[in-house]
C-alpha cells in the first residue's frame, strides 16, 4: 500500500498524559461530533453497515451494478456463516462483461500443483469441498438503462456454516481499514513488535483481546508487504513537509508585506529546515488588549500528514464567543517547543501576560507555563478532564462507571479544599482505585482543575459548555478540506478576521424583577453578560441576610438548601466581597452580594463591579442600532398595557374569553406570515417578546 500524502489530515492527540505508551485516549463523543472523526471518515473507505437487514437473494432480483450485487450477497453470506468469491465472468463484443458468477468460498476443488523440488514440500489442506452454493448475475439493457439481475441462485451448502465469532475470521472479512493501516505503520516505524501493535489497536478501539476485525497474522503480512512502501512514503512525506512549510513561511512573509500589523516568527533546525512557526493578526492583538485577561491555549489537534502539533490561542469576548488570538505549529510536544510558543505569543501581545491560561493536561506544557508565565494562574479545562474519564475508567469499573462519573461530577463542584480531599479519598476507596495511575495523575494536578482550588481564579466564564461548543465549531471551519499548509493558513486567516463575524444584534432584554439594579445593568451590559447577572439578581430574592457587628452579612437561602455565605461590606470605598468568590471567578456579581446591595438600598451596581470586558462598548464588531432598545421599551410598555386590558375584559364571560382566544390565534398566525421589511422588525422577531 502506497500512502498518498495528498491531504492534510488532523486528528486528536491520542497519547495519554499519563505517559504510558499502551494508554491511548478515546474522547467521549468523538464518533458523533468531533472534528477528527469526521475528517478521518472522509479519508477512509466507507463500508456498508452490517446492522442493515439483508434478505435472501432470489432469482429475478435487480441491481444497478454487479458490485452492488456482490456487496449484497457478501453481507448475506456473512450473516449466514460463510463467505463468497468471484468466479468466472463472460464477455461479448457488444455488451462487454454480461455475466458474473459468485460462489461460496468452498466451491470447487483445488487442482494438484507441481511440487517444488524441495526435500520437505508444504502440504496445505484445501478448504474447498465442492460446495454448490452460488449466485449468477446477467446484464440486460432496459430502455437504455443497464441493470443486472439474478439468473441463478442456490443456497445449498455441503459443509457446516460458521457461527458469528468464527465467520469474522474468514479471510474475506479480515479487512484492515485505512485508519488502522496508518496506525500500524507508525507503530512499526517506532519499533513496536507485531504482537504489541495488536494490543495497542485493541486498547485504542476499545475491544477485548482477539476481537479486532483482523488477526495478528494479517498485521504481520501487512507490515512485511509495506516495508518498501513505508520507505517511499516517508520520502514523499518529508519532501511534502519541507515544501509546504516553506510555502507557509512565504505566505506569512507576503502577508506581513501587505499588512504591517501582521506578526509571525519561526525557528529552524540544524539543517536550516523550518521547525516551528507561529503567527497572529492585527485584529487579534487589538482583541487581546480587552480580552487578554483569560486565554485558552488549545493543543488538541495534530497533523498526521506533517507530524506537527497545532496550538491555538483563544480569548472569550463580551458576548461569550471565542476570539482568535494566535496560532502555532510545533515540531513536537516537548518543553522547549511549548516554551518557544509561549515566548512568541507574549512577544506578539507586546509583553502583557494573561491573568489565567487554560490548557489540557500536559506535563511539558505545565512546566513551560510555570517557567515563562510565573505570575499567571494555570487551569486545566474541566472539559478536557471529563472527556478522558470514559477512556480511563470504563475498562476497570465496567457497570460501575456511570455511578463513579456522577460522584466525580459532584466532587468537582465542591467549594472547600478540605471537603474535596476528604471526598476524594472516599471516592478512591469506594471504587478501589488507590493504585490507578490516572487517579494519581488527576490528584497530582488537583491545584489546577477542581472548583475548590480554582474558584478564586478569574476565568471569565470560559469553562462553560457553550464556549467549548463554539471552539469545536471554530476547529471544524479551519481543519476541513485541506491539501496543504498554505490553504490551512488561509482558512485560519478567514476565521480570525473580525470582518467575517456577524454583527451582534442588540436584543430586547426583558427585566424579570422591579429592582432598579436590573434596569441599570440592562443598559450597560451585553445580552450575554446581562443574562448571567439577571440570573443572579432573580435568585438573590430567595436569600435572607443577617448583619454582623462589623458591618458584614451572613447570607443564606430561605429554605436552607445550602450553607451560609459571608459577604464583607466596606462602606468607605464601596467594596463588597463574598466567600463564594463568584465575582473573582467570572466577573459577574453573585446573588449574595446583590442581596446585600439591595438591603443597602443600592439602585445601581457600583462602577468597579461592572467590568469593562462585559460592557457593550467593549464589543469588537459594530452593534446594531442601539436606538432599537429604547424603541423596544416603548413598544413593550404599550403592548403590556393593551394586553392587560384585554385580559381583564375577556375574563367576564366564557364567550368573551373564547372569542378573544380565537381572534388572537388568528392574529398571531397572520403576523407570523407577514414579510420582514426592515432591521428593527427582524430584531423584534428574534427577541421572543412573548416571554414577558
The answer on 482 and 412 residing in a single domain is: yes
The answer to whether residue 13 sits within a structural domain is no
Q: 612 lies in a domain?
A: yes
Q: Note whether residue 383 is domain-resident.
A: yes
What are the angstrom distances between the C-alpha of 109 and each of 126, 127, 128, 252, 672? Answer: 8, 9, 5, 66, 74
- Same domain? For 91 and 68 the reply is yes
The CA distance from 650 to 365, in Å, is: 67
Say if 625 falls within a structural domain.
Answer: no
Residues 91 and 190 in one domain: no
163 forms beta bridges with none
Give residues with Cβ within 8 angstroms of 273, minimum separation 6.
242, 245
Domain ends where: 223, 258, 293?
258
Same domain, yes or no: 141 and 193: no
Higher per-residue pLDDT: 619 or 449 = 449
Which set of grid coordinates corresponds to residue 634?
416603548
Coil vs helix vs strand at 327: strand
Question: For 466-500, what is each residue's pLDDT tens digit?
Answer: 999 999 999 988 987 777 899 999 999 998 988 87
End-to-end CA distance of the chain: 65
Give the pLDDT band of residue 122 (cuts 50, 70, 90): low
Same domain, 440 and 301: yes
State residue 638's pLDDT score: 65
* Average pLDDT score over residue span 441-448: 95
In a domain, 505, yes or no: no
Q: Say if 363 falls within a structural domain.
A: yes
**480, 555: one domain:** no
Look at 506 and 450; give whichever has higher pLDDT.
Answer: 450
pLDDT tens per residue across span 189-221? 767 788 888 888 887 777 778 878 888 888 888
Mean pLDDT of the chain: 84
Q: Specify whether 187 is located in the same domain as 163.
A: no
Is there a single domain that holds both residue 242 and residue 364? no
Give me the pLDDT at residue 33, please: 36
User: What is residue 91's DSSP assignment?
Assistant: E
Q: How far, in Å, are 145, 206, 292, 594, 608 from residue 589 at the CA level?
A: 71, 45, 20, 7, 11
Q: Both 164 and 179 in a single domain?
A: no
For residues 162 and 133, membership in a common domain is answered with: yes
Within a domain: 38: no
Residue that wins the pLDDT comparison between 367 and 692: 367
pLDDT digits over 69-105, tens only? Answer: 999 999 999 888 899 999 889 888 778 889 999 999 8
Q: Are 212 and 169 in contact (CB under 8 A)?
A: no
Higher pLDDT, 680 or 655: 655
C-alpha cell at 279: 503567527
How many domains does the chain fold into? 5
Which helix (H) or strand (E) covers residue 487, if one does? helix 485-496
Domain that holds residue 65: 61-109+127-168
Rounded CA-CA distance 545/541 in Å is 11
Q: Are strands 294-298 and 356-359 parallel, antiparallel or unpaired?
A: parallel
Contact call for residues 23 and 203 (beta carbons, < 8 A): yes
Determine which helix (DSSP H) or strand (DSSP E) holds 533, and give its type and residue range. helix 527-540
Whether 49 maps to a domain, the answer reads: no
- Quick check: 157 and 107 in contact, CB under 8 A? no
In the predicted structure, residue 258 carries a pLDDT above the cut 90? yes
In this prediction, residue 647 carries a pLDDT of 80
39: part of which helix (H) or strand (E)? helix 35-43
Q: Are residues 647 and 606 in the same domain?
A: no
DSSP string across 269-322: -TTS-EEEEEEE-HHHHHHHHHH-SEEEEE--EEETTTTEEEEEEEEE-TTS-E
Residue 683 pLDDT: 46
Among the ranges given (154-158, 208-212, 230-234, 585-589), the one the predictor scored with the smallest mean pLDDT: 230-234
Residues 476 and 565 in one domain: no
Amino acid at each position: 500500500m502506497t500512502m498518498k500524502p495528498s491531504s492534510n489530515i488532523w486528528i486528536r492527540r491520542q497519547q495519554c498524559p499519563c505517559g504510558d505508551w499502551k494508554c491511548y485516549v478515546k474522547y467521549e463523543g468523538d464518533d458523533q461530533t468531533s472534528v477528527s472523526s469526521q475528517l478521518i471518515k472522509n479519508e477512509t473507505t466507507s463500508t456498508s453497515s452490517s446492522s442493515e437487514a439483508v434478505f435472501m437473494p432470489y432469482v429475478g432480483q435487480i441491481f444497478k451494478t454487479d458490485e452492488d450485487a456482490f456487496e449484497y450477497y457478501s453481507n448475506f453470506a456473512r450473516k449466514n456463516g460463510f463467505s463468497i468469491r468471484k468466479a468466472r465472468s463472460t464477455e461479448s463484443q457488444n455488451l462487454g462483461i454480461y455475466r458474473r458468477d459468485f460462489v461460496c468460498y468452498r466451491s470447487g476443488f483445488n487442482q494438484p500443483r507441481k511440487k517444488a523440488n524441495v526435500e520437505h514440500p508444504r502440504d496445505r489442506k484445501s478448504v474447498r469441498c465442492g460446495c454448490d452454493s452460488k449466485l449468477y448475475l446477467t446484464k440486460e439493457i432496459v430502455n437504455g438503462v443497464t441493470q443486472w439481475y439474478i439468473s441463478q441462485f442456490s443456497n445449498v451448502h455441503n459443509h457446516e456454516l460458521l457461527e458469528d465469532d468464527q465467520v469474522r475470521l474468514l479471510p474475506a472479512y479480515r479487512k484492515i481499514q485505512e485508519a488502522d493501516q496508518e496506525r500500524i505503520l507508525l507503530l512499526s516505524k517506532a519499533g513496536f513488535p507485531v504482537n504489541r501493535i495488536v494490543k495497542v489497536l485493541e486498547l485504542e478501539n476499545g475491544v477485548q483481546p482477539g476481537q479486532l476485525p483482523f488477526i495478528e497474522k494479517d498485521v504481520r503480512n501487512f507490515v512485511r508487504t509495506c516495508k518498501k512502501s513505508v520507505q517511499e512514503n516517508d520520502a514523499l512525506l518529508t519532501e511534502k513537509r519541507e515544501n509546504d512549510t516553506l510555502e507557509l513561511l512565504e505566505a506569512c512573509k507576503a502577508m506581513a508585506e501587505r499588512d504591517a500589523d501582521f506578526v509571525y516568527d519561526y525557528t529552524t533546525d540544524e539543517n536550516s529546515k523550518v521547525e516551528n512557526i507561529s503567527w497572529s493578526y492585527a485584529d487579534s492583538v487589538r482583541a487581546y488588549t480587552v480580552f487578554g485577561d483569560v486565554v485558552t491555549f488549545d493543543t488538541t489537534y495534530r497533523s498526521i500528514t506533517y507530524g506537527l502539533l497545532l496550538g491555538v490561542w483563544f480569548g472569550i469576548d463580551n458576548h461569550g464567543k471565542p476570539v482568535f488570538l494566535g496560532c502555532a505549529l510545533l515540531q513536537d510536544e516537548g518543553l522547549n517547543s511549548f516554551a518557544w510558543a509561549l515566548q512568541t505569543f507574549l512577544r506578539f501581545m507586546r509583553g502583557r501576560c494573561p491573568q489565567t491560561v487554560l490548557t489540557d493536561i500536559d506535563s511539558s506544557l505545565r512546566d513551560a507555563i510555570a517557567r515563562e508565565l510565573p505570575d499567571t494562574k494555570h487551569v486545566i479545562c474541566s472539559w478536557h478532564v471529563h472527556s478522558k474519564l470514559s477512556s480511563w475508567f470504563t475498562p476497570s469499573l465496567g457497570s460501575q462507571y456511570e455511578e463513579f462519573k456522577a460522584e466525580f461530577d459532584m466532587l468537582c463542584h465542591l467549594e472547600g479544599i478540605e471537603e474535596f480531599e476528604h471526598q476524594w479519598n472516599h471516592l478512591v476507596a469506594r471504587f478501589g482505585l488507590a493504585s490507578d495511575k490516572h487517579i494519581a495523575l488527576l490528584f497530582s494536578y488537583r491545584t489546577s482543575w477542581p472548583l475548590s482550588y480554582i474558584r478564586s481564579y478569574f476565568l471569565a466564564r470560559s469553562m462553560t459548555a457553550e464556549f467549548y461548543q463554539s471552539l469545536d465549531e471554530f476547529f471544524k471551519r479551519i481543519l476541513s478540506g485541506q491539501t496543504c499548509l498554505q490553504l490551512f493558513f488561509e482558512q485560519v486567516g478567514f476565521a480570525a478576521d473580525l470582518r467575517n463575524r456577524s454583527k451582534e444584534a442588540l436584543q430586547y432584554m426583558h427585566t424579570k424583577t422591579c429592582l432598579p439594579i436590573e434596569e441599570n445593568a440592562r443598559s450597560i451590559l451585553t445580552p450575554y453578560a446581562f443574562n448571567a447577572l439577571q440570573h443572579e439578581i432573580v435568585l438573590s430574592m430567595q436569600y435572607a441576610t443577617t448583619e454582623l457587628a462589623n458591618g458584614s452579612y451572613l447570607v443564606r437561602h430561605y429554605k436552607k438548601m445550602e450553607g451560609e455565605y459571608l459577604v464583607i461590606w466596606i462602606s468607605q470605598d464601596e467594596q463588597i466581597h463574598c466567600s463564594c468568590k463568584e465575582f473573582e471567578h467570572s466577573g459577574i456579581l453573585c446573588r449574595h452580594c446583590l442581596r446585600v446591595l439591595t438591603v443597602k438600598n443600592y439602585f445601581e451596581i457600583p462602577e468597579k463591579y461592572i467590568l469593562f470586558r462585559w460592557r457593550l462598548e467593549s464589543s469588537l464588531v459594530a452593534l446594531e442600532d442601539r436606538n432599537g432598545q429604547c424603541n423596544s421599551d416603548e413598544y413593550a410598555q404599550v403592548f403590556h398595557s393593551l394586553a392587560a386590558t384585554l385580559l381583564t375584559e375577556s375574563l367576564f364571560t366564557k364567550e368573551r374569553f373564547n372569542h378573544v382566544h380565537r381572534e388572537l390565534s388568528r392574529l398571531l398566525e397572520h403576523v407570523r406570515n407577514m414579510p420582514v421589511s426592515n432591521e428593527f422588525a427582524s430584531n423584534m422577531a428574534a427577541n421572543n417578546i412573548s416571554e414577558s
